[in-house]
Structure formats: C-alpha cells, structure tokens
Amino acid sequence: MKIAAYCRVSTEKEAQIDSLEKQIEFFNEFTKKNGYNLYKLYADEGISGKQIKHRKQFQAMMQDAKAKKFEKVVVKDVSRFARNTVDLLQSIRELKSYGIEVDFLNNGEIMEGGSEFILTILGAMAQQESANMSKRVKFGKDITAQKGRVPNIVFGYDKIPDERYTLKINEEEAQIVKEIFENYVYKGMGTTKIAWELNERGIRTKKTKSRWVQTSIVRMLKNPIYTGRVTNKKSEVTDFITGTRKDLPEEEWIVVEKPEMRIISDELFNKAQEILAQRSTEFKLNCKREKTSYVFSTLIYCKHCGYSYRRTKRKYTENGKEYIRWVCSGRNSMGVSSCPNTTVIDEEELLNAIKEYLKSIISNKKEFMKSVQKEFDKITKLRENNERSEKSLLQEIEKITIKKQKYMEMFQNEIINIQELKKYTNPLNEDISRLERELKLITSEIKEKDVLEKELTRTISTIDDILNNETITNAMLKTIIDVIEVDSDANIEVRLKLLNEIGITPPTVLNSNVGT
C-alpha cells in the first residue's frame, strides 16, 4: 500500500522534544515494519495547528489525495493533524470522499479515523489544550508587558542581547528621528516629502533596510517610544482559533515609563499628534468623507502644554441660554496639575473677533499689503545677512523646549506654583516663537517679491469670499489661518498662514470678552 505521512512542528520547544528528523525516522520505521511504501512525508514547520488554511504542506497533501497519489494518510496523533475540531472532521470527511483512509498512531497503537465520535472527543481535547496554551501565552505576555517589554527592532535604538525590557539609543539614528519630528512640526514638511529626503540621502529603514514611504514616517511620528514610553497591549486575541484581534481602549493599554530611552520631548511629540490629526481631518474634508467639523476644531492650541483646545457646551438654568466654550484639552483630560492654562474661550466672541480682524484687512487691503511687503523687505535683508544655520536653530528650539518641559514637570510635582511657572515659561514661549519665526525666515519658499504679491492677492481674495458667506466653517478658516495660540494670561494670537510662512510676527486678537 502506498501511504503518505503528515507531521507538524509548531514551536521551538516542540522542535527540541519531537524534532522533524525524529518524526521522519519514526515514519520510515513504521512503513518498513508494516510493509508500506512511503510516497511522501508532508511536514509543516513553525506552524500553528489551529487553522489548516495556513499550512502549505497540509494543503499540498490534500491536493495529492484528490489526485489519488496515495491510499492512506498516517499521522502520529490527532493534535499534529489539527487542533480545531471542525477542521479535523472536515478534513477526514474530504479524504474519505477521495477513498483515502486516515490512521492516527497514538501511543504506538493504530486508531483508524472511521469513528467520528471518538475523533470528535480527541479533537475537542486537542482544541481545549490549544485554548489553554493560548491563555498561558496571553498571561505571559501580560506579565512581560507590565514590565515594559520592548520590540526587537525600532529605528533610533539598538537591541541589547538577552535584554527584553530596554533598548540602547543609537545616537546616529536618534538624530534622524529628531530631524523627522522637527521637520514635520517646525518646518511644516509633509510625511511624503520627509520620506523622499531620507531616501535621497541614502538612509534606509531599520527592519527591512528598504526605502522610506509615507506610512513608515506616520508610524514613527505616532510611536510614543521616542518619549521614553513603552506601550503594550493595544489589542488582544478574541478568538484563538481564527486569531481574530480587537483594539482595546486607550485606558486598558499598558504603558511603562523608560526615561533612558527618551529621544524627543513630550511637547514636540504632542504637537506632532495634533498636526497629524489636523491633516487627517483636512484630508477627509477635502475628500468629502468627513462630517461637519466644529468651527475651531484643531485650530486653537495651548501655548503652555501644546495640546489643542476642545469644545464644551453648557446650558445655564438662570437664563436658559446655551454657551459654547473652548478649553485646553491637556488640562481638561489630564488634570489641573498638567497645565496652568485656565483661559476659557467663548466661541461666539472669538468668531466675532476674527470676523472683525478679517474685515479690517479687507477694508484696508492696500495698507495691509504695503505693511506686509515692508516687513518682507526687512526679512529679505535679514535672510541675506543671516549666518545661523537651520540645524543650529532646530537644536536651540529643542534645548529650550526641554528646559520648558522641566518647569512643567516641576509644576506637576508641586515644586513650583502657577505664578512661578508663568514667570519661568513665558520668556521661553517667546524665545520658541522667535526662533520658529527665524526658522521660517530662512526656510520659507516665498523668497521673491512677485511671489509674495500673488500670495497676498490670493489671501485677500479668499478672506473676501469667506466674509461673504453667512456661515463660516472650519474648512474656510483653515484656508487662511495656520494656528490660534492661547496662553494663561488670556492672550490670543491668530496667525495667518501667509504671514506665518514668511516669518512675520503674528497679530494678536485683543478682545477682553473672548478669553477669560
């Protein structure tokens, strides 16, 4: 009789105890002892027994069975054939339909695969063992996650041999990580452009040594490991047989602080997240896949913690009127100790103040254009005489940002009070704004006066179109406004995209009723 043998080795531990070579030896002895002719040994290595569809050799065996290349299949035990009862019975039935017998050689005894009742019991036992194994693996992963298990390969770090809970910073790669975040946040470079520049410099990804793509840059920008936070258990397996996973809510994630692995500041990381969210929203709006956004969504930012402002709605029982206000989301979600900014913005008042500001530009557009052009001439001279490099500016911004972060941590730990925090951080905020404008000055793509005139004309025309609409939307404001920044003294700065692009000091909307 011509027979086929099937075996499966799924883990390193099993490979050591019951290696593939031993199974081959076993089946050779079995066929010789019983006078069979071994047509072929089908063997899957490193494959789980939960689903047969992932086992290439198993599938090849079924195809050969259909072609009647052998008369019988022998398997050492049921668990080697399948740990899924449904797959086990379906496969046995399919082989029977081809006239192929199946024998299981459990404990040296031959058990024919003819009794579905017995096979169901044995299959259920194998499936339960697989379920128990899955639980043990899950428990083990939870334990290592709580200790801060780190991935093996992350750009910016090197794996330490036999170390599971920390990575060593690769200084050369860490500098590139900083560049990516700074280019995205401070220079406004898109993720695709960043990928192109890395590829042009011959820099490759760590894991596959391949060229960078837009998605790999986005993944890096979203990875909190660069702030020294290792995050595990973002998802879990809900069905051990199919391997189906579900995403877990953020409050169930396991996050472990690893200060020795920090490459960038929290503020820089948070700004990157806000910009990612903003650009994602803009993309969805442009593709007409997004529902109507609130008028100031991802436009207002806290000058202290870098988080965006979020919309709140409250109805007062005294007059029955509903008020819509915007508050710092960092302070609102992480507690009063996380940020000193108590400034609350009335949506209607801010919108009216912005309308008035835009109207003043339209009614005095000649003066506005002249003043911008005059500032541009000054900037052009400064650019020509500027000896500071882009790299030195980015390094100084990072240095001040880290210093500011230390004061924020002192405030959170109640080492200094809110007045002291303002005293220390307000000058730092001004320095960061100044350096960012200087950075814009040397990196701006608007370097010719005729280009500026075209952009000015376009901006004024856009403002005019917006004011002619009865309702001003979030998408409209984003065409002309880069950001609205709010500090703890209720100062509100509105930065137009064009003026921010060329490094002109942003105007301040002064209205005592807007921020309180």
Low-confidence ranges of the chain (pLDDT < 50): 12-17, 48-50, 109, 112-113, 117, 121, 123, 137, 139-140, 239-243, 287-292
> CA 402: distance to chain centroid?
23
Burial 110-149 (b: 16+ CB within 10 A, else e): ebebeeeeebeebbeebbeebeebbeeeeeebeeebeebb
Q: Is the dihedral of CA 48, 49, 51, 56 positive or negative?
A: positive
Q: Name the CATH topology of 2-144.
A: Rossmann fold (3.40.50)
User: Is 449:376 a contact under the CB 8 Å cutoff?
Assistant: yes
Round the average pLDDT of the chain to a whole number and report it. 77
Q: What pLDDT sits at residue 426?
A: 84
For 416-441, the three-class secondary structure string (H helix, E strand, C coil) is CCHHHHHHHHHHHHHHHHHHHHHHHH
- pTM, rounded to two decimals: 0.42
Domain range list for the chain: 2-144, 149-179+207-264, 285-509
What's the one-letter identity of residue 463?
A: I
pLDDT in tens, 384-412: 666 566 677 778 888 888 888 788 778 87
| pLDDT at residue 447, as a whole number | 58
Residue 413, pLDDT score: 75
